[in-house]
């Protein structure tokens, strides 16, 4: 450290810090290489109603790393964001999600299933965002009404009028919108009313803290707010039956979490949907 470096001597370059900077640069180059090689894909985590039927799924980015295996966003998202590479990852995930959704058109209509896709702030404000999303819809042949885009409250702060405008254009094409991690940002209730929203997602931190009274009160307030704005509510990070019951008792309609299903590859989700369709028809 600085003290052991000698009396009165200041060290400006900490070797540990230098090492970290080098690591980040390597990771950044590796993400870029991975994007060029189509290594970023979508996993799908099913969403359920109280009866246990799948009503939708969330597409979540995964990196099929040639040496390190399957990596979740925790391993790359921060560096990707700082390097301006999140746009490309979002694009890949949306493309994958829409391709599968187009292939599942009949299945999804029969089960009234929708697919949620996360978008980053950088992507929402990109000038080519709208054209790009519409091009992906055309290329894949997906029905835009089956796609729900997830944004966060903090993303809206950059330029609220622009965000609203962009959401409204996509809404005209049938796209749905959800606010992700709801309750953790700074949302203005006034703007909430002006956004073309369909769903609020209760952040997993509140669900995890249940049955803590403060968290329960926040959850109750979010559900009441959603219902008064005529929005659907989904709780994420549901890990126990006790959490699911408490959420249900307070009017939450949809559930996503390890208790019900982990994120899984497309073929496994498809198999579950087929199974659900069969048991419903028979």
Contact set with ligand C2E (CB under 6 A):
45, 60-61, 72-74, 77, 86, 89-90, 93, 118-120, 150, 180-181, 204, 236-239, 256-258, 263
| Binding partner at 50 among ligand C2E, Mg ion, none, C-beta below 5 to 8 Å by kind | none
3-state secondary structure of 153: helix
Least separation in angstroms between CB 43 and ligand C2E: 7
Per CB under 5 A, the segment of 6-14, 92-100, 228-236, 267-275 that binds Mg ion is 228-236
Task: Give least dist CB 72 to Mg ion, A.
Answer: 12
**Least Cβ distance, residue 242 to ligand C2E (angstroms):** 13
Which is nearer to ligand C2E, 111 or 118 (by Cβ)?
Answer: 118
Of 111 and 120, the one with the shorter C-beta distance to Mg ion is 120
End-to-end CA distance of the chain: 70
Q: Minimum Å distance from CB 243 to ligand C2E?
A: 9
Question: Beta strands of the chain (E only): which ranges?
Answer: 40-49, 54-65, 69-71, 114-118, 147-152, 176-182, 199-202, 232-236, 254-256
Q: Measure CA 265 to chain center.
A: 16
Choose between 181 and 232: whose C-beta lies nearer to Mg ion. 181
Q: Which residues pair with 56 in a beta bridge?
A: 47, 114
Q: Look at residue 115 and give the partner it binds from ligand C2E, Mg ion, none, a contact being a CB closer than 5 to 8 Å depending on partner kind.
A: none
Min. distance of Cβ 58 from ligand C2E in angstroms? Answer: 6
Distance between CA atoms of residues 134 and 166, nearest Å: 12
- Between 144 and 237, CB nearer to ligand C2E: 237
Taking the complex as a whole, the smallest distance from the CB of residue 154 to ligand C2E amounts, in Å, to 11
Between CA 260 and CA 48 the distance in angstroms is 8
In angstroms, the Cα distances linking 215 to 11, 113, 165, 183 are 46, 29, 33, 10
Residue 219 touches which member of ligand C2E, Mg ion, none, C-beta under 5-8 Å by kind = none
Angle, CA of 39, 41 and 45, to the nearest 5° = 150
> CA–CA distance from 135 to each of 8, 144, 146, 202, 267 (Å)?
61, 11, 16, 31, 25
Query: Tokens 């970023």 correspond to what residue?
Result: 40
**Choice between 30 and 199, CB closer to Mg ion:** 199
Q: x/- binding map, residues 139-178, to Mg ion, per CB under 5 A?
A: -----------x----------------------------
Closer residue to ligand C2E, CB minimum distance, 11 or 37 = 37
Position 118 contacts Mg ion (CB under 5 A): yes
Q: 70 and 62 in contact (C-beta within 8 Å)?
A: yes
**List of residues contacting Mg ion (CB under 5 A):** 118, 150, 180-181, 236
């Amino acid at each position: 450290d600085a003290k052991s470096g000698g009396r009165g001597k200041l060290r400006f370059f900490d070797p540990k810090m230098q090492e970290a900077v080098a690591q980040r640069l390597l990771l950044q180059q590796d993400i870029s290489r991975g994007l060029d090689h189509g290594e970023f894909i979508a996993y799908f985590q099913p969403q359920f109603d109280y009866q246990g039927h799948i009503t939708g799924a969330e597409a979540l980015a995964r990196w099929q790393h040639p040496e390190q295996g399957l990596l979740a966003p925790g391993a790359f998202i921060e560096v990707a964001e700082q390097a301006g590479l999140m746009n490309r990852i979002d694009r890949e995930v949306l493309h994958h999600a829409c391709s599968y959704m187009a292939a599942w058109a009949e299945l999804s209509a029969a089960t009234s299933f929708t697919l949620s896709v996360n978008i980053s702030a950088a992507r929402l404000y990109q000038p080519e965002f709208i054209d790009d999303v519409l091009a992906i819809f055309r290329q894949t042949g997906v029905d835009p009404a089956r796609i729900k885009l997830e944004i966060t409250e903090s993303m809206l702060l950059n330029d609220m009028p622009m965000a609203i405008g962009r959401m409204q254009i996509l809404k005209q094409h049938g796209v749905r919108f959800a606010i992700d991690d709801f309750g953790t940002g700074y949302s203005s209730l006034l703007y909430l009313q002006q956004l073309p929203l369909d769903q609020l997602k209760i952040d997993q931190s509140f669900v995890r803290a249940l049955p803590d009274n403060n968290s329960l009160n926040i959850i109750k307030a979010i559900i009441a707010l959603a219902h008064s704005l005529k929005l659907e509510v989904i709780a994420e990070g549901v890990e126990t039956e006790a959490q699911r019951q408490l959420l249900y008792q307070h009017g939450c309609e949809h559930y996503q979490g390890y208790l019900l299903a982990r994120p899984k590859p497309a073929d496994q989700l498809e198999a579950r949907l087929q199974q659900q369709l069969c048991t419903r028809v028979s």
